[in-house]
Structure 1
Amino acid sequence: MATQKLYAGAKLRETRTRLGLTQKDFAGKLGVSLPYLNQMENNNRPVSTTVVLALAQEFGFDVTELSSGDAERLVSDMREALADPVFNQDEAGAPPLADLRLTASNAPALARAFLELHRAYRQTHERLASLDAALGHEGGGLQLSPWEEVRDFFHYCDNYIDAVDRAAENFAATARRGDVPAAAEAWLKGQGITLCIAATDTLRQFDRATGTVTLSDRAAPETRNFQLLLQMALLQQDKLLQATLDLARFQSDTARAIAHIGLANYFAGAALMPYGPFLAAARETRHDLERLATRFGASIEQVAHRLSTLQRPGAKGVPFFFVRVDQAGTITKRHSATRLQFARFGGACPLWNVHRAFETPGRFLRQLAETPDGVRYISIARDISKSGGRYGAPVRRYAMSLGCEVEHAGQLVYADGLDLGPEAVFEPIGISCRICERTHCHQRAIPPLEQKLHIQPDSRKVLPYEIE
């Protein structure tokens, strides 16, 4: 495949503005002419190798930040939104992909405003469809779903919150012999808070009146450790969490409350698996999830999720995507530091091996896959069912997938023995049927909304229509 040109005009402008430089001064430091810099900032020219090297040498800039991660996410989200029938009432169809990429690169704020508008429309439409009293909504205005708003906050932060991550790493460094849960318990004890393990279905309960934290003895040890650290984060790191929430400017108290717990969860995972030691261990074990889980006292899911957050500037890990689905195929957790993005509405592509993980509990499934844009990935999938801890308690069944672009496969133990050569077979997958470009797919659930259909009444293949 040909090397993709790098268009990063918005990042260049943002960097220049942050440094307080004029275009003329910035061009001089980068060793290019003023017109050339202007063309790069407006994405009329790709960023040259000379400029990339100058950014690193002159300003210590982490050139990996020039990658189009945010732009690709925006393009994916806009394509899915534009697949909505409300935008396809005439023959014009959806805007060309090139136009969407220019919008995401040159006007990201406009792209996000468009996505917020579409989410507001969709939310109102769904309320009316379910006979919800949308007109009686308090204040008479439209708001995003708090859950979606928080998910987007983490999504567009690359699932990496630097201040919280470093605070968690600093706390972990104080733990004797690396026993982070014991350090958390000692801190709580120092605040006059008692830890109690009891027979209860509630994972964690903090009684402020008595100063008692109760954890369930029915939960797995790694779950109890995580909940212990989460409770400590809510108490010890409250000022940091609140300051981060202030910067996020959530539209509702509900969204802020959800994000508050989300940040505490982030701290707990980052303390249990501190950035520096965890990154080193991941490289040493070649990202063996089971070995990492044993070493850090974490679950397989916690380890996989943590791997997807290793995006610290200057010390980035392998860019992974991470997703969790339920038995209905609904995505319950998602993040991608790769070019692969996930559907915002509905389930994941049925050809993805994450769905087959339910059939093989306790085993890792490997898959080589290719998306319609020609990018190839290696991914692993595994069921991560959660026991209720007692007879008769319901079992929560999930499956997760972790993967990266195939160029990083050599750093994964799961790639051993796979044929990655030119003759290797990569399964075709997509984002969701609504926006998938593939014209021939035996598992297609619904027609793509961006393309015309050709109906043949005298012929029937796998699908009752052909995609033009």
Structure 2
Amino acid sequence: MEKTLIGPQLRQLRRERGQTQAEMAQALGVSTAYVNLLENNQRSLSVKMLMALSTAYGVDWRDLMKDDSAHRLANLRDVSRDPIFGDDVPDIQELRAALDHAPKLVEQFLSLYRSHRAALDKMMQLGSEASAGDLLRSAPETVIHDFFRDHSNYFHDLEKAAENLRDSEPFGSDDVYYMLKRRLQERHGTQVEMLPVGKMQDTLRYHDESAGIVYLSEVLDYQNRSFQLAHTLCLIEFAVTLDKLTRDSGVMSEREITRCQVELANYFAAAYLMPYKAFYKAAEDTRYDVDMLAAMFGVSFEQACHRLTTLQRRGCRGVPFFFLRVDKAGNVTKRFNSTSFTLAEYGGACPVWNIHTSFRTPGIIIPQFVELPDGERYFTISRTTERPAFSSQTQDRRLALALGCELKHAPKIGYAQSFNLENEALFSPIGINCHLCPRQACSQRAHQPILVDLPIDTRRRGNTRYES
């Protein structure tokens, strides 16, 4: 058993029942001093004590063992560095102490901050016409994104389901489409039929449940045909697992639940096409060469990028990446991250970031080292991807992808090996977006920032019309 510290959980359990440490000690058959040591993380949890807690308080031991402290610490650290709090940032020891001794207060603080950011986002989207209700209401996409982020973009039940399915019928990556078709036919009485673009029009996949047929558009290439079948198989064969995952997700409306299950089915499809252990080993061996990984597993560049964000299994963790996809107008059309990076949460609208420059060089991977106003540094790669074209009117369907991680992980990535990480000139100063960026003298500024006043002087003209 790994060394397990449950101080905050134990303290919360005791307070919910209105007990003193002495009363909890009596219920568990241990000394008051021992309970105090457990609550202050000075003793790890033994199997005997775990059983005693389960018996005395009727709690599920798995709930006690849940440890998201690393995620919450990263989240709290990122929030505390927001420019609205000034330059006096709490150190890591202070943040850990807050999590250990005031976890509910931390949760309330983070909830308040999320509401603040949601209000700012809505203000930028809706302008002066926004009502108070509009400003504080989270969009469905935000709720679903937070659900994935809170799970570090890793879902063990779906991973195991995908692994068991692959192990039951071993095959190579070139046979995956055939195997998926066969399983849908033999296990679920569902046939797969390809239809011309003219008949499918703007639909890529349609599952006619009453007829037992999955229709796929001929516009899909082999990788995406396989992905769509794996997605459909998940919705049919693992519907109970999807219901279980979304039951306590915080997603409330039927529409939001359906949207969340679509994303979870996409997760399963990636896990099925790129089995965790094999993909993790290949990623480490190739130093996270995305093109090579895509070729090895018979998937697209975008699918391989997405899969890299999910390598967060305990004892077998890869580099924690974030992933963004943007269109030509700079709108973020897909966003995943394995930890609470500020850049992954709110980024994508800074023209200094090369995710936008990549449109000029289609298909070319562009590495870049970037620094946010709070000093956080990241390594990113950007590249374009092509979407299926249905007609001459939709032939320009190019999108840009960005995959990134914290600077400390850059030495593990092949794309970064030729750079001198000690060179301060290497880092491009970027922001989240112009409305929130406090940087001065940025030649790319397009808006007056909301939270700071830039200096203005009639005697001097600065880089932009917003400051002198």
Q: Which is richer in helix? A: 2
TM-score class, shorter-chain normalisation, is 0.7 to 0.9
Aligned AA for 1:150? I
For residue 59 of structure 2, what is the aligned residue in structure 1?
none
Would you say 1:177 and 2:171 are equivalent positions? yes
1:14 to 3, 9, 12: 9
Query: Are 1:111 and 2:105 matched, yes or no?
Result: no
Q: What is the RMSD computed on CA atoms of the aligned residues?
A: 4.2
The match for 1:442 is 443
TM-score, length-normalised on structure 2? 0.77
Separation in 2 of the partners of 1:454 and 1:314? 51
Q: Shift in Å at residue 454 of structure 1? A: 2.6
Tell me how far 1:406 sits from its aligned partner.
2.8
209-218 or 324-333: bigger deviation: 324-333
Asked if structure 2 preserves the Cα contact closer than 8 Å seen for 1:385 and 1:398, the reply is: yes
**Distance in 2 (alpha carbons) for counterparts of 1:203 and 1:56:** 53
> Aligned pair in 2 of structure 1 residues 64, 365: CA closer, same or farther (>3 Å)?
farther
Residues matched between the structures, number: 426
- One of 192, 195, 198 as aligned partner of 2:192: 195
Paired residues of 1:367 and 1:379 also in contact (CA < 8 A): yes
Indicate if the aligned counterparts of 1:204 and 1:213 stay in contact, CA closer than 8 A: yes
Task: Give me the whole-angstrom Cα distance separating, in 2, the residues matched to 1:64 and 1:406.
Answer: 28
Cα separation, 1, equivalents of 2:66 and 2:378: 19
What do residues 5-49 of structure 1 show as CA deviations (whole Å, max 9, x unaligned)?
A: xxxxx97413777999x97999xx9xx9987876x67xxxxxxxx
Q: Summarize the alignment of residues 358-377 of structure 1 with structure 2, pairs less than 5 Å apart.
A: 358-377=359-378
Counterpart of 1:462?
Answer: 463
1:103 and 1:111 in contact (8 A); partners too: no
CA shift, 1:116, in A, is 6.1
- 3-state SS of 1:452 partner: coil
Instruction: Check whether the contact 1:372–1:428 (CA below 8 A) recurs between aligned residues.
Output: yes
What's the TM-score, normalizing by structure 1?
Answer: 0.77
Corresponding residue of 2:320: 319
Partner SS, residue 384 of structure 1: strand
Aligned to 1:408: 409
Task: Note the C-alpha offset of 1:258.
Answer: 0.6
Contact 2:80 2:89 in 1 (8 A): no
| Letter of the 1:156 counterpart | D
Secondary structure in 1 matching 2:369: strand
- Matched residue SS, 1:177: coil
* Deviation of the 1:225 alpha carbon: 0.6
Partners of 2:332 and 2:143 in 1: CA distance = 16
**1:330: how far off?**
1.9
Q: Is 1:145 aligned to residue 139 of structure 2?
A: yes
| 1:377–1:95 distance in 2 versus 1, CA, 3 Å | closer
Partner deviation per Cα, 1:369-389 (whole Å, 9 max, x = no partner): 223333332211101121315
> How far is 1:361 from its partner?
0.2
Deviation for aligned residue 1:95: 11
Bigger shift: 301-310 or 404-413?
Answer: 404-413
Name stretches of at least 5 consecutive residues in structure 1 with no aligned partner.
1-9, 42-49, 84-92
Question: Residue 6 of structure 2 contacts residue 38 of structure 2 at CA under 8 Å; is this kept in 1?
Answer: no
Task: Note the alpha carbon deviations across 1:201-247, whole angstroms, 9 max, x for none.
Answer: 42111111211111111111111110010111100000110111112
Distance 1:417 1:64, change over 3 A: farther
Superposition pairs for residues 324-339 of structure 1, below 5 Å?
Answer: 324-337=325-338
* 2:153 equivalent in structure 1: 159
Residue 338 of structure 1: how far off its partner (Å): 5.1
* Structure 1 pair 55–367 and aligned structure 2 pair: CA distance change class (3 A): farther
